[in-house]
């Protein structure tokens, strides 16, 4: 369990602008898992109690909707490498108008306070006056003043009614060490400050005069709170005690409690009857004390690490505490300590990493059992690495993270022994940590490596390489270093931003894996120390893996969790662009080759995937917002007038796409528009369905895309009625130009059965059916010409549904994927591309169709036939996909079913087996069908084939797939 770190004393260097300023610093990659990734410094409720605001050392301020438990806004400021941008203090004014944030703000020798307009998110001004980092902030109850406490040993009272706002405030000097705590009395007339010099001081607001010095604590004062109803000051210290003082005179009243651990935070209830205390050392229990008798009402044991942020809701019923290993915010009852809600993202610290002994699989785990050097932490997840090359045309991609089933012993982890050599840590250095790593041979210390504040504080994870020639050690603050057996440093592995809990080396000694408190697993080349890959895997099974150049592979929504911040200056709100907005950077082939070649540079050269992230400094994807209708509105008419406020940009919007509940309904007027760079408004007339309508607006320019959504309700008759079903069913079993081993038994039969079934069920559901069967023996011959002609003939309207079923062989050639028609042939040992159907033709045909688009795919009948781009690209275009296999399995045909297993499960589901809601009139929704097919295929194949579905990347709304 880490001890509280003091904030370093030496400073280091909402609404978008009308045009993006040119940034002087390169874009900075950030992970956004929906919750905090580093120490939570402050939490506070909004005055109406509907939202909670939190600030963190991860450099973000989050606004949480307490109804949904999700982040609805983030406030950003300039950040940089290392400490720059870390937020150590945050406060919201009682009227909800102002939000102040401070910490390492990036101006050497003059650490400003950022003052935001909370409603708009606009950064109004910087309050400059402190010469060291600001670690405490508080607004006065009358909203007129802000007080700040700093590592320069001073506090400043800022008059928020002064003009201009950034004038120097009234400085309060007298403490002899850093100020960590500040608060106003209820009448806004006095301020109290708490310091690491063990004392508190009480000051007059009007003239800054000192009223009293409050002495009695025997260790550093880290927290202070003042009762809203009475002038009672509560102070918390590292001496474990909470003391009460008179808020008018500063006179000592009593020691309220000794909580047996360092006091990390204090918050009064609105009625002043209770005091909540956080914790900055083990044991990590939070407490509720009654005032003034000091009786302990509640002990809350829900956190597994320190808690430096506490707050009580405006109605006095709920306590918010932020902290723990995974930086969660817990909302619990003040009366009985019962947990009500967790506010967190989908990330978690990584406590163990390892490789399979054959080097084909990477494993990791997120459970901390407290063992030394991650020797007992369990492996929980695995991912298949690209095969070691049989030539770069062997297109096996990075797999998909899977929950581990089987023995933990199948993976190697950190090795602290090699022959008669051992690695051991011991306490040392200036911080009473495991700062010394001893390199021993036959119980004799050959060398010792000591760490300090500049190189990670301690040795948290360490290993020999398989040949014993190198030692890899991970420490605090993201430090990983390589040494030889003499203890001489060879170099650093640079990239992590949190403590390194685990390292491991592959059996061939070529790759290093590392796991960190920053919630990522990283893969490195041992020889060059190059970061090849960073992987983030969420608890919702969304994931993303990327290279330092920005190329990535991801699950359908994984690319929304990583992006780049573009600084616009210390006094400006920065821009932020997600990977999802830059689909051209989705390159699974680059990821695979970076691992195979152990070089990102070589992988990019091999694939031609050059992209300079510096382009984001001067160009951005579209920037716009929906200003009407408001979220949750009831629309009286069946057409919603959606008003867009489009920001000025250096790149004009080229086109829009409009979706209602994942159905493409782009109005004819906006399918082709005149590009406009200037700021302007545009109104789109969007047809609605009866009930809930999730409207998604996608805007595209030459760089990327941006999606904005709003959900509205309509009670009238649907303006999007079920129209025509456009059905194309394609199946190829016989390949006369290919070998006997490449023939399939059931692909054509599958296509015929699906065609027949969907035509039959469609009679009840659609006004008309336009269908084409392309298969062996029935329908049209499945040659390239017939397939492409059928696809080009598709022309559905917004009320129509298009279903494309595809069964046969698929193949990866270079970075492209192809479907193999009946006439597929080889030229020598390689397939002739001209005899194949490019996947782009298949996907573009359905992507350009209006209405709802559904893709049922069974083309992975052989190893290395899977291509993750197919599913991701389809999801990005809001095409609903059900694919027969995952990246790590292949499609199977079983004679006893007379079909491929995937099609057999589909047909059984469509007969009614997938109808889980028997009372809804025989409707089978897509989610019901997906669940049934997935479970049935896994059962029939004993998990050797696992279907996957990809719905909309912009939010999926379930729909009726068939009406029985």
The answer, yes or no, to whether residue 5 has pLDDT greater than 50, is no
The answer, yes or no, to whether residue 15 has pLDDT greater than 50, is no
Please report whether residue 115 resides in a domain: no
Domain end position, chosen among 345, 373, 389: 345
Whether residue 934 sits in one domain with residue 789: yes
More confident residue, 475 or 917: 475
Whether residue 791 sits in one domain with residue 730: yes
- Per-residue burial over 849-874, b if 16 or more Cβ lie within 10 Å, else e, is bbbbbbbbbbbbbeebbbbbbbbbbb
Strand order of the sheet with strand 210-214?
179-184, 190-195, 200-204, 210-214
CA distance 274 to 312: 10
Mean pLDDT of 435-456: 94
The answer, yes or no, to whether residue 18 has pLDDT greater than 50, is no
Question: What percent of the chain is helix, strand and coil (3-state, nearest 5)?
Answer: 15, 40, 45
Residue the block writes with tokens 């991970």: 474
**Strands 562-566, 552-554: parallel, antiparallel or unpaired by DSSP?**
unpaired
Whether residue 879 sits in one domain with residue 775: yes
The answer, yes or no, to whether residue 860 has pLDDT greater than 60, is yes
Mean pLDDT of 511-523: 96
The 10s digit of each residue's pLDDT in 182-237 is 999 999 999 999 999 999 999 999 999 999 999 999 999 999 999 998 899 999 99
Please report whether residue 390 resides in a domain: yes
The answer to which of 1-10, 21-30, 145-154, 875-884 has the lowest mean pLDDT is 1-10
Please report whether residue 143 resides in a domain: no
Whether residue 414 sits in one domain with residue 323: no
CA distance 601 to 666: 41
Whether residue 903 sits in one domain with residue 856: yes
Please report whether residue 187 resides in a domain: no
Helix (H) or strand (E) holding 670: helix 668-671
CA distance 663 to 898: 34
Closest of 163, 102, 99 to residue 130, by C-alpha: 102
More confident residue, 551 or 8: 551
Please report whether residue 647 resides in a domain: yes
Mean pLDDT of 862-867: 60
Structure-token pair, residue 167: 């004038």
Model confidence band, residue 4 (pLDDT cutoffs 50, 70, 90): very low
More confident residue, 441 or 169: 441
Domain end position, chosen among 345, 379, 411: 345
The answer to which of 386-400, 474-488, 681-695, 853-867 has the lowest mean pLDDT is 386-400
CA distance 143 to 332: 28
Question: Can you give the pLDDT at residue 866?
Answer: 64
Residue the block writes with tokens 């949190």: 498
Residue the block writes with tokens 């009946």: 822
Mean pLDDT of 456-480: 95
The answer, yes or no, to whether residue 672 has pLDDT greater than 70, is no
Question: Can you give the pLDDT at residue 224?
Answer: 98
Model confidence band, residue 3 (pLDDT cutoffs 50, 70, 90): very low
| CB count in 10 Å sphere of residue 75 | 22
The answer, yes or no, to whether residue 635 has pLDDT greater than 90, is yes
Whether residue 630 sits in one domain with residue 646: yes
The answer, yes or no, to whether residue 6 has pLDDT greater than 50, is no
Asked if 338 contacts 330 with a C-beta cutoff of 8 angstroms, the reply is no
Whether residue 356 sits in one domain with residue 318: no
Strand, helix or coil for residue 938: helix
The backbone torsions φ and ψ at residue 660, rounded to the nearest 5 degrees and listed phi first, read -120, 115
User: How much is the CA Rg of the chain, to the nearest whole Å?
Assistant: 31
**Residues composing the chain:** 964
Which CATH number characterizes residue 697's domain?
2.60.40.10
- Per-residue burial over 484-515, b if 16 or more Cβ lie within 10 Å, else e, is ebebeeeeebebbbbbbbbbbbbeebbbbbbb
Domain end position, chosen among 660, 682, 714: 714
Q: Which domain holds residue 946?
A: 724-963
870 to each of 697, 748, 810, 842, 843, how far by Cα in Å? Answer: 23, 22, 11, 10, 8
The backbone torsions φ and ψ at residue 11, rounded to the nearest 5 degrees and listed phi first, read -70, 150
**Strands 880-883, 852-858: parallel, antiparallel or unpaired by DSSP?**
parallel
Please report whether residue 169 resides in a domain: no
The 10s digit of each residue's pLDDT in 718-773 is 877 789 999 999 999 999 999 898 899 999 999 999 999 999 999 989 999 999 99
Question: Can you give the pLDDT at residue 561?
Answer: 94
Exposed, middle or buried, 457 (CB in 10 Å: 0-12/13-18/19+)?
A: buried
CA distance 588 to 563: 17
DSSP line for 733-771: ---TTS-GGG--SSHHHHHHHHHHHHHHHHHHH-SEEEE
Which CATH number characterizes residue 383's domain?
2.130.10.10
The 10s digit of each residue's pLDDT in 348-407 is 999 999 999 999 999 999 998 888 888 889 999 999 999 875 443 334 789 889 998 766
Question: Can you give the pLDDT at residue 955?
Answer: 65
The answer, yes or no, to whether residue 20 has pLDDT greater than 80, is no
Question: Can you give the pLDDT at residue 864?
Answer: 54
Asked if 518 contacts 498 with a C-beta cutoff of 8 angstroms, the reply is yes
Question: Can you give the pLDDT at residue 671?
Answer: 66
CA distance 251 to 245: 6
Question: Can you give the pLDDT at residue 863?
Answer: 53
Question: Can you give the pLDDT at residue 176?
Answer: 97
Whether residue 930 sits in one domain with residue 826: yes
Mean pLDDT of 688-695: 92
Question: Can you give the pLDDT at residue 171?
Answer: 93
Whether residue 408 sits in one domain with residue 331: no
The answer, yes or no, to whether residue 16 has pLDDT greater than 50, is no
Whether residue 658 sits in one domain with residue 534: no
Question: Can you give the pLDDT at residue 108?
Answer: 66
Residue the block writes with tokens 């690319």: 559
Domains contained in the chain, number: 4
Whether residue 846 sits in one domain with residue 783: yes
Which CATH number characterizes residue 816's domain?
3.40.50.1460
DSSP line for 92-145: E-TTS-EEEEEE--S-TT-EEEEEEETTT--EEEEEEEESS-EEEEEE-TTSSE
Question: Can you give the pLDDT at residue 8?
Answer: 38
Asked if 890 contacts 863 with a C-beta cutoff of 8 angstroms, the reply is yes
Closest of 187, 192, 186 to residue 243, by C-alpha: 192
Question: Can you give the pLDDT at residue 363?
Answer: 97
Whether residue 853 sits in one domain with residue 934: yes
The 10s digit of each residue's pLDDT in 67-95 is 999 999 999 999 987 778 999 999 999 99
Please report whether residue 198 resides in a domain: no
Please report whether residue 673 resides in a domain: yes
Average model confidence (pLDDT) across the chain: 90
Question: Can you give the pLDDT at residue 22?
Answer: 53
The answer to which of 104-108, 423-427, 567-571 has the lowest mean pLDDT is 104-108
Closest of 13, 3, 1 to residue 84, by C-alpha: 13
Question: Residue 273: CA atoms inside 13 Å, Cβ hemisphere, count?
Answer: 7
CA distance 854 to 881: 6
């Amino acid at each position: 369990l880490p001890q509280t770190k003091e904030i370093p004393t030496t400073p280091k260097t909402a609404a978008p602008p009308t045009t993006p300023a040119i940034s002087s610093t390169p874009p900075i990659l950030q992970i956004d898992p929906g919750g905090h990734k580093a120490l939570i410094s402050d939490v506070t409720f909004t005055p109406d109690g509907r939202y909670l605001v939190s600030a963190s050392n991860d450099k973000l301020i989050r606004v949480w909707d307490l109804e949904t438990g999700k982040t609805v806004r983030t406030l950003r400021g300039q950040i940089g490498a290392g400490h720059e941008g870390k937020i150590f203090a945050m406060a919201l004014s009682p009227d909800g108008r102002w939000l102040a944030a401070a910490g390492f703000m990036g101006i050497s020798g003059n650490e400003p306070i950022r003052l935001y307009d909370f409603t708009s998110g606009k950064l109004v001004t910087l309050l400059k006056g402190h010469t060291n980092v600001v670690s405490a902030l508080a607004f006065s109850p009358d909203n007129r003043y802000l007080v700040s406490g700093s590592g320069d040993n001073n506090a400043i009272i800022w008059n928020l009614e002064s003009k201009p706002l950034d004038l120097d405030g009234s400085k309060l000097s007298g403490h002899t060490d850093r100020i960590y705590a500040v608060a106003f009395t209820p009448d806004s007339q006095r301020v109290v400050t708490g310091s690491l010099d063990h004392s508190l001081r009480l000051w007059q607001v009007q003239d800054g005069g000192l009223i009293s010095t409050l002495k009695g604590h025997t260790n550093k004062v880290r927290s202070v709170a003042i009762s809203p109803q009475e002038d009672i000051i509560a102070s918390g210290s590292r001496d474990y005690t909470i003391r009460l003082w008179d808020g008018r005179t500063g006179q000592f009243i009593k020691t309220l409690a000794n909580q047996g651990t360092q006091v990390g935070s204090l918050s009064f209830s609105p009625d002043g009857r209770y005091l909540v205390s956080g914790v900055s050392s083990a044991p990590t229990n939070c407490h509720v004390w009654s005032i003034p008798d000091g009786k302990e009402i509640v002990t809350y044991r829900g956190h597994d690490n320190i808690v430096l942020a506490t707050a009580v809701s405006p109605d006095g019923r709920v306590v918010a505490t932020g902290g723990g290993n995974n930086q969660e915010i817990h909302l619990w009852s003040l009366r009985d300590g019962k947990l009500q809600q967790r506010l967190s993202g989908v990330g978690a610290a990584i406590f163990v990493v390892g490789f399979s002994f054959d080097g084909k699989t990477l494993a990791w785990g997120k459970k901390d059992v407290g063992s030394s050097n991650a020797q007992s932490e369990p492996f929980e997840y695995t991912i298949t690495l690209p095969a070691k090359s049989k030539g770069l045309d062997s297109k096996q991609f990075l797999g998909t993270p899977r929950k581990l089933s089987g023995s933990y012993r199948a993976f190697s982890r950190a090795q602290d022994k090699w022959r008669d050599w051992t690695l051991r840590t011991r306490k040392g250095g200036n911080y009473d940590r495991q700062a010394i790593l001893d390199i021993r041979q036959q119980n004799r210390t050959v060398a010792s490596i000591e760490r300090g504040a500049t190189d990670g504080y301690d040795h948290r994870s360490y290993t020999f390489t398989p040949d014993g020639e190198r030692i890899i050690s991970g420490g605090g603050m993201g430090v990983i270093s390589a040494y030889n057996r003499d203890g001489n440093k060879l170099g650093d592995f640079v990239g992590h931003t949190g403590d390194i809990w685990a390292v491991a080396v592959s059996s061939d000694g070529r790759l290093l894996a590392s796991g960190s408190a920053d919630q990522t697993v990283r893969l490195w080349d041992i020889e060059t120390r190059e970061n090849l890959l960073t992987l983030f895997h969420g608890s919702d099974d969304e994931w993303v893996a990327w290279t330092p150049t920005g190329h990535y592979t991801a699950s359908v929504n994984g690319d929304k969790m990583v992006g780049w911040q573009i600084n616009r200056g210390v006094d400006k709100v920065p821009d932020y662009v997600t990977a999802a907005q830059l689909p051209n950077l989705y390159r699974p082939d680059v990821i695979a080759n970076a691992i195979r070649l152990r070089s990102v540079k070589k992988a990019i050269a091999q694939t031609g995937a050059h992209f300079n992230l510096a382009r984001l400094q001067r160009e951005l994807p579209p920037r716009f917002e929906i200003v009407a209708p408001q979220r949750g509105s009831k629309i009286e008419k069946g057409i919603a007038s959606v008003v867009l406020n489009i920001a000025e940009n250096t790149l004009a919007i080229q086109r829009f796409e409009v979706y209602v509940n994942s159905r493409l309904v782009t109005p004819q007027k906006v399918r082709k528009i005149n590009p406009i760079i200037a700021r302007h408004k545009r109104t789109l007339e969007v047809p609605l369905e009866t009930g809930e309508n999730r409207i998604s607006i996608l805007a595209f320019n030459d760089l990327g895309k941006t999606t904005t959504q709003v959900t509205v309700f309509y009670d009238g008759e649907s303006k999007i009625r079920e129209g025509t079903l456009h059905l194309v069913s394609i199946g190829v079993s016989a390949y006369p130009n290919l070998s006997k081993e490449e023939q399939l038994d059931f692909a054509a039969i599958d296509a015929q059965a699906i065609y027949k079934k969907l035509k039959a069920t469609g009679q009840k559901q659609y006004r008309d059916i336009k269908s084409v069967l392309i298969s062996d023996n029935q329908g049209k011959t499945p040659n390239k010409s017939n397939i492409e002609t059928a696809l080009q003939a598709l022309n559905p309207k917004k009320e129509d549904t298009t279903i494309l079923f595809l069964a046969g062989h698929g193949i990866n050639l270079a970075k492209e994927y192809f479907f193999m028609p009946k006439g597929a042939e080889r030229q020598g040992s390689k397939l002739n591309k001209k005899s194949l159907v490019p996947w782009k033709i298949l996907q573009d045909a359905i992507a350009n169709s209006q209405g709802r688009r559904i893709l049922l795919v069974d083309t992975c009948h052989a190893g290395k036939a899977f291509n993750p781009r197919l599913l991701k690209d389809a999801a990005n275009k809001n095409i609903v996909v059900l694919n027969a296999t995952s990246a790590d399995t292949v499609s199977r045909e079983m004679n006893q079913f007379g079909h491929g297993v995937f099609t057999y499960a589909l047909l059984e589901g469509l007969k009614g087996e997938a109808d889980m809601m028997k009372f809804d009139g025989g409707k089978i929704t897509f989610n019901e069908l997906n669940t049934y097919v997935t479970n049935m295929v896994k059962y029939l194949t004993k998990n050797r084939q696992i279907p996957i579905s990809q719905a909309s990347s912009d939010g999926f709304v379930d729909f009726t797939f068939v009406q029985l």
